A and B are shown apart, each in its own frame.
Chain A
Amino acid sequence: MGRQAEGGKALLRRRIAAIASAVSATSIAASFLIAGGQGAAAANQAHGAQIAAACASCHGPAGGDQGIPLILGLDEQAIIDAVLAYRASETPSHVMHAVALSLTDEELASVARYLSTHGGEENAR
């Protein structure tokens, strides 16, 4: 049963990663003058941004050394894995369990993509 659950989770991770890749593909398409693609990429980015706004209430720079980590610039898959672990209560946290349960797979993919992409830009500065 444990193995089955593990298999299910691996599937879920792959599914969310696939959604995130689709988001990424649209972003790349955007830079190739596909008008529709550009709109979709921008919309995906805006969706991730609006969810990330909720994250920003707690995950600010000032709280980073006091038990609430910074999440911008984290690896996309690491964000997805962490949120799935909170969703399944494998990592205990009342706050993150409530957050994880509120996100659909598509929303998790969008916000993970957004946070990882934008953090990366920031780190390069």
Chain B
Amino acid sequence: MKTWTRREFSTMAGVAALAAVVPQAVRGQSKPRVVVIGGGVGGATAARYLAATGAIAVTLVEPKRRYATCFFSNHYLAGLRSFESLVLGYEALSERYGVTVVHESAAAIDPVAKTVALDGGAQLPYERLVLAPGVAFKFGGIDGHDEAATEIMPHAWNAGPQSELLRRQLESMEDGGVFVIAVPPDPFRCPPGPYERASLVAHYFKQYKPKSKVLILDAKDAFKPQDVFEDAWARHYPGMIEWLPAQFTGGVKAVDLKTRSVITEGGTFKAAVANVIPAQSAGLLAQRTGLTDESGWCPVDPATFESALQPEIHLVGDAIIGGDMPKSAFSANSQAKPCAFAIAEALTGSPLFPPHLFNSCYTFLAPDDAFVSALNFKPDAEAGRIELVDTFVNKVGESAEIRRRTAHEAVGWYAAIAHDTFG
């Protein structure tokens, strides 16, 4: 029997006892099989908590060998963190928790035969499937901005080569240029992300390119918490960040790659560096498997995260219609646990209790000035959606000490959630 070290155990808290209540008979037989597709935060958390029951054979399908976190990737763009510091691997999931990690792409899901076909030709049978496909980018809404255009105007909305490209562009930009961020329409991954990006890039400019500016071209007319951001921009970066809502510009309609211009209904903005973030929908595999509705996102049971469209397939993370839950890494991590417990109940008869769903997102306004949004939710079975219960967010006018402490706490939060997710 494995002896847990304190370090391992402390993040196993939620699942250690689950193993104890799984009937012995189940454990003696060949284990039920769960395939998890997608090794981001939602998929990795689900795989880890399912495997920790000791009663389920878990296979995680993820083509990449390394995962770079989107959270804190704005720090990388601003030169405050190395890219390497964002990179996590799957070794602990396989070596410590017994997850079979397959580094291939899933080509197709057969919900009737209950198999996953891999690119290499192999078929993986499952009793339950967890799909955590993240977001797909919907090109076509902005003329001239297609997949190839992201090599010139990166979105950097997946941490990886796109982030590295945007960082290189910001580094080689001459002082006095304009960094344009085009913010997509709702819903999209990480709602405060574009405004944090504006803040931290302005911090970089303030130090190294003080004549440069940040221009935010928004598809919306408001964002949250707008007063907290605007107060911070006035305090830290006076005159450096300009935000233009859709009602002023009519929204971004096109880009001109040659002149590196972003074209709105109301005017054309010439960028030194353009960060165009496309509109989003659920990941492609979810679309191809018939798991999305007319909105382009995946409807799920708000307590078990089982698809409302295909039984025995569960979805977590950015791809789902999460009701009041924002699309964030924390939401994905929070959803994956009750999802794992519900699957364990269905396959092994272990007990299931009402889920606790949270989102705690830390957002940086400057390296030593951060705020947190703390939200709790509960599933409303009748309405079939996840409802917000409480929200608490930092306010304008707080002491610098509170914001410093929050920034410090955020660093601890990063380390903790990375460990809780990837082991």
Contacts and interface: CB of A to CB of B under 8 A. Distances in A.
Given A46-B18, A122-B4, A57 B392 contact: no
Q: How large is the interface on B (under 10, 10 to 19, 20 to 34, 35 or more residues)?
A: 35 or more
Nearest to A64: B412
Contact of A67 (B373, B391, B405): B405
A29 interface: no
Interface stretch (A4-12, A14-22, A94-102): A94-102
B18 A42 contact: no
A35 B206 CA distance: 68
Contacts of A52: 13-14
B409 interface: yes
A72 B14 CA distance: 11
B408 A67 contact: yes
A66 B415 contact: yes
Contacts of B12: 56
Given A61-B10, A67-B405, A101-B376, A49 B412 contact: no
Given A50-B18, A53-B14, A122 B6 contact: yes
A98 B361 CA distance: 13
Given A50-B18, A57-B334, A62 B372 contact: no
B409 A66 contact: yes
A54 B45 CA distance: 12
Interface in B47-94: 49
A125 B376 contact: no
B15 A67 contact: no
A59 B5 CA distance: 16
Nearest to B414: A63
A125 B10 CA distance: 13
A99 B412 contact: no
A60 interface: yes
B11 interface: yes
Interface string B190-222: 000000000000000000000000000000000
A95 B419 contact: no
Given A45-B17, A46-B353, A47-B353, A53 B337 contact: yes
Interface string B343-377: 00000001111011010100000000000111110
Interface residues of A, number: 44
Contacts of B413: 58, 63, 68
Given A42-B21, A50-B341, A68-B416, A122 B353 contact: no
A56 B420 contact: yes
B394 A94 contact: yes
A66 B411 contact: yes
Given A51-B356, A98-B358, A61 B419 contact: yes
A98 B418 contact: no
B382 interface: no
Contact of A48 (B17, B372, B392): B17
B142 interface: no
Contact of B15 (A49, A59, A68): A49
B117 interface: no
A53 B13 contact: yes
Given A70-B10, A115-B13, A122-B9, A57 B358 contact: yes
Nearest to B371: A94
A33 B341 CA distance: 27
A43 interface: yes
Contacts of A72: 6, 9-10, 13
B334 A67 contact: no
A102 B356 contact: yes
B6 A123 contact: yes
A65 B49 CA distance: 25
B20 A42 contact: yes
A53 B49 contact: yes
A57 B333 contact: yes
5 contacts: A52-B14, A53-B14, A56-B416, A68-B409, A72-B9
Given A47-B353, A52-B14, 7 more contacts: A42-B21, A54-B358, A56-B13, A56-B416, A57-B334, A102-B356, A123-B6
Interface of A: 42-43, 45-68, 70, 72, 94-95, 97-99, 101-103, 107, 114-115, 118-119, 122-123, 125
